[in-house]
Amino acid sequence: MSLADGARPQPAAMGAAAAPAGLLAGLRYLGVSIVLFGGVWPVTKAALAHATPLWFALNRAGMASVASALLLAALGRLRLPLRADLPCIAALGLLQLGGFFALTHIALEWVPAGRTAILGNVTVFWLIPLSVWVLGDRVSRNQWLAVGVGLLGVLALMQPWAIGAQGPGVLPGYGLLLLASLSWSLAILVTRRLPPRRPVMELLPWAFAIGAALLLPLALWREPAGGIGWESWPYAAFVGAIAAPIGTWATIEAGRRLSGIMASVGFLAVPALGVAISNIWLGEALGWDVVLGGVLIGASVLLAARG
């Protein structure tokens, strides 16, 4: 009997039909996230030719706060945060957004965009030891191996044995990127320890606003004569109004719909795309160190995801 004859689909059939639809939606969101976030670092590097790092980061957070609020308002989901969600909002705003933006944007003055795209996303070797120490998690042999493999990838990218030949500022730049990934990792730990009551998407306007509030005094202090030149405003609009809010939304939705392993594997395309764009558009060299470091860090994510 067909549905046109009045038969109702059985629950099992409905579940079977819903699973591919959910997977397809998750892959669409994943694709949006990869395209937007993969392009952020090369675009930002290009923008810094006519902008100072902290003012560009401030614009990114402030514009994203407004854009995410407008997006939520259009979806009928804009509301004041619950008191119970304030620790999570503070962690996201101060650590994952404000702190991460400040450290990575300053590092871009010295470090190529492709390397920034990889090193800025290295959270594995921070998260696993901190999860044991702070949360008391039990970690498998594969996950400890992931820490070691990830560290090897970082060493391949940084080449500490040849740091003197890489030019002044490169070593501090690498240090800032490692601190940025630590800041992101700490935000993840806080949200795990104190999970929000409401969906993270609904917290983004407030978290981006806190990030902007952190960045404003830093920009005034460190770059009193800085700003964004008119040549860089198209880049600033893309990063602040499109990539940051929509990319974050797509990342959250992809994580909700895809398995942990599939999401982890999929998000490896973000730094890979960043490296490719940096190589093609900015002319950054794609040496053995970038390839080996990227492969090792990707392998560490896979090992961690397998548990």
Lowest average pLDDT, out of 11-15, 44-48, 149-153, 242-246, goes to 11-15
pLDDT at 161: 62
Query: What size, in residues, is the chain?
Result: 307
Q: How confident is the model at residue 185 (pLDDT cuts 50, 70, 90)?
A: confident
Q: How confident is the model at residue 134 (pLDDT cuts 50, 70, 90)?
A: confident
Q: How confident is the model at residue 57 (pLDDT cuts 50, 70, 90)?
A: very high
Domain membership of residue 222 (yes or no) is yes
Domain membership of residue 12 (yes or no) is no
Query: How far apart (Å, rounded) are the C-alpha atoms in residues 235 and 244?
Result: 12
Domain membership of residue 24 (yes or no) is no
pLDDT at 80: 94
pLDDT at 17: 47
Domain membership of residue 76 (yes or no) is yes
Better-predicted residue by pLDDT, 212 or 296: 212
Half-sphere exposure of 42 toward its Cβ, with a 13 Å CA cutoff?
Answer: 21
Q: Over the stretch 197-207, which tens digit does the pLDDT of each residue have? A: 998 889 999 99
End-to-end CA, the chain: 45
CB 104 within 8 A of CB 120: yes
pTM exceeds 0.85, yes or no? no
For the residues 238-262, what does the mean pLDDT come to?
A: 82
Domain that holds residue 134: 40-306
Domain membership of residue 194 (yes or no) is yes
The total of structural domains in the chain comes to: 1
